[in-house]
Structure 1
Amino acid sequence: MQKLKPNHIPAKGWKGGFLKKNPEMNYTTPNLGSLDFNDNLHKIQNIKRQQRVLWPEFTWETKKGQKDPKRCFQMFAPDISRVGYDNTGQSWSIICPQQGTFIPGVGTFNVEVTVKGQKGWVDEANKSLAVDMIVKPKIWFSPAANESAYGKLLWSIFELNNLGYCFPSEKTKAIELNTYQTTSQKTTTITLRDGLFMEGDLPPFTIHKEAWSHANVEVEIGEIDLNHSDLVNEFNTIMMKAFNIGSGNMLQQGNILAWNVWFDAPSIVNRKEWENHADVWRRSIDVDHCSPDGPGTDPRFADGSIFNVEKELFAEVINEIKKFIKKHL
């Protein structure tokens, strides 16, 4: 495992100028409407510089809608996420965060907030940025889960029904969720902006004063994509329930998932490393459930106490899995 080395001094080569040519994209109310969304992987050749998210701090409510919603905080693995841009400041690609959640009796679910498209700018001179994204959380089994007793039985059901191509054994077959800026408007454009979510009311363990700059993202979790057969839709609904039990309802429909991204200083991009970065991280979590750059933190409440899942909830979802297996085998 590599030792994480933060950058404290920006790399040479910054020119700027993108904002000067596009004055409507100002600092206070950035309007990125004149830009087209770029596929997140198609413009890597344009990237010259990057800012690494060394401290991706996520927060959500574990008991949404209750009198005490039990807000949880968790730092995902360091340096999985990055924003990449050219020397003038135009943003061309964002590497998305990933995490794993363990379900007793089944194994580990991987979750990735996949960026489907992005556009925007970075201004190093003011330690500022504005990026719009379209994102979809994806959930799939790690290889160990595929080899568990329940995993094998579930896979066999898909194979017997000629649905092996739908079993979420890898990212390309993942269960997908929709996300919105607000569900009332059904706006799918998610914004990365300056400032902090819950600024002034954050637990001390989520604040990283050693960071070069910071920004925040806030999304409302939408519905599961139910574009498959009844069997697959039934299975995906049960698996999402299992994931949300294990993660404290992180991706519960209607929940707000927010994260503060704490950057180190800008550095020069190695394009080959950029292209391989997410795959290297994903292979690491698949093999040994750890990050190449060190682990994240356990989910915690604001007082620092660790979030623990009630065993009864795990038993409930395992019972649902058993019923599904009995029904379809």
Structure 2
Amino acid sequence: MTIKNNQQPAPGWVGGFEESNALFSYPDPNLSSLHMLDNMANIDKLQRQQEVLWPEFSWETRKDEENTRRCYQMFAPDISRIGYTNEGRVYSIICPQQGAYSPSFGALNVEVTVTGQRGWVNETNKTMAADMSVVGKIWFSPSAKTTKAFKLLESLFQAMNLPFPLSKTTAIVVKTFLPGDPNQVIFPLRKGQSHDFDIPAFAKHIDEAWDVAHLNVEIGDVEKVGHDIVDDFNQLFMDFFNLASGNMLQNGNVLSWNVWFSAPQIVDQTEWSEHAKKWRDSIDAGHGSPDGEGTVARYYDGTEFKPAENLLDIEKERLADFLTKHFSVIGKEKVDAYLKAQL
């Protein structure tokens, strides 16, 4: 995997925005006087950016068990970035994407989608502070659309004119919030690496990154759409994703990430808008990330995470139950026979 690392900051830094309000600064930045901003509303104000070339995520794979194990995975690079003015006010943050593999459906995409942000960057001392609100979004990748299970479900959903997670625009949405506080959807991005867990050497980029910040978010419920078939399928789809990814988006789990930045660059506002649009419609385009697909999920000792060996059998059984429950005209025997022949 080749990563285009920018080592030297571009000229033009002015600074001063952090210092404009004493409450903004560390040790406990308070950004509440700033409005939470839409990511695409102020592209014309962006002058500088730092790319997140190493978005390192971490989560517990068995959070409800006594002997839980933590996974570490770098999401696809050169998607995420933070954009700000020459003075350091943040106006846009783009977050990364990654995939998981389902034996029934092939590749599934996940993105942490920013719904609001505010904050500052200080290039002089290589620090930043921002507040964010996000949702998780999961949808079928292009390769999944060639599977028999996908084609069957798509035809059934289309026949009933029901929404289906064909792309990011129709993705399944997972709520998030500040860990331990379901009523607080805003959470902090702060300087340095997380201190909440041990970080393996392969997930650190001290020698190659310009700066690093971290954040934590607790995973909530799958957003309901108000239709039993769709809501049941979305939960089933989420369960398949979690089985394949090691419970990355399991309800109640805390998803943490250390975002490692390359040195500041000048923003090309047209390129930023095109970049944001490209990833808004996303990996879904089929070309993947421009600088690689990230890494596989690994435990602290470097051992790769492996889904259950009987994952296909589990998916087939759950899918059969779903089809039998909601499309009884098919009949359980026909469903079982179809899945046995096609999956």
In 2, Cα distance between equivalents of 1:174 and 1:284: 11
Read off the aligned partner of 1:58 and give its amino acid letter. F
1:199 is displaced (CA, Å) by 7.0
Quick check: 1:242–1:314 contact (8 Å CA) kept in 2?
A: no
Structure 1 residue 9 corresponds to structure 2 residue 18:
no
The CA deviation string for residues 201-258 of structure 1, in whole angstroms up to 9 with x for no partner, is 3111011121111000100000110132011001011000000001100000000100
How far apart are 1:281 and its partner, in Å? Answer: 5.1
Residue matched to 1:202? 199
Counterpart among 169, 174, 190 of residue 171 in structure 2: 174
List alignment gaps of at least 5 residues for structure 2: 331-343
Q: Would you say 1:231 and 2:229 are equivalent positions? A: yes
8 A contact 2:179–2:216 mirrored in 1: no
Q: Provide TM-score, normalisation by structure 2.
A: 0.91
Q: Quote the sequence identity (%).
A: 49
Aligned AA (2:64): G
Q: For the Cα contact (< 8 Å) 2:179–2:254, is it kept in 1?
A: no
User: Is this contact kept in 1: 2:168–2:280, CA < 8 A?
Assistant: no
- Counterpart in the other structure of 2:128: 129
Give TM-score scaled by structure 1 length.
Answer: 0.94
- Equivalent residue, structure 2, for 1:104: 103
Task: State how far apart, in whole Å, the 2-side matches of 1:284 and 1:25 are.
Answer: 34
Name the Cα RMSD after superposition: 1.8
CA drift of 1:8 comes to 1.4
Indicate which of 216, 223, 233 corresponds to 2:214: 216
Partner of 1:241: 239
Partners of 2:245 and 2:69 lie apart in 1 by 13
CA 1:200/1:9 → structure 2, altered by over 3 Å: closer, same or farther? farther
Q: Aligned residue for 1:188? A: 185
Match of 2:57 in 1: 58
The answer to whether the 8 A contact 2:56-2:75 is kept is yes
- Relative to 1, partners in 2 of residues 1:101 and 1:176: Cα closer, same or farther, differing over 3 Å? same
Q: 2:191, 2:253 → 1: CA distance? A: 22
Q: d(CA) in 2 for partners of 1:103 and 1:278? A: 27
Taking the TM superposition and a 5 Å limit, the aligned residue runs for 1:1-329 are 3-163=2-162, 166-198=163-195, 201-209=198-206, 210-280=208-278, 285-286=283-284, 288=286, 290-327=288-325, 328=327, 329=330
Q: How many residues align?
A: 326
Cα offset, 1:287, TM superposition:
5.3
Cα displacement (A) at 1:286: 3.3
Structure 1 unaligned residues grouped into runs of 5+: none
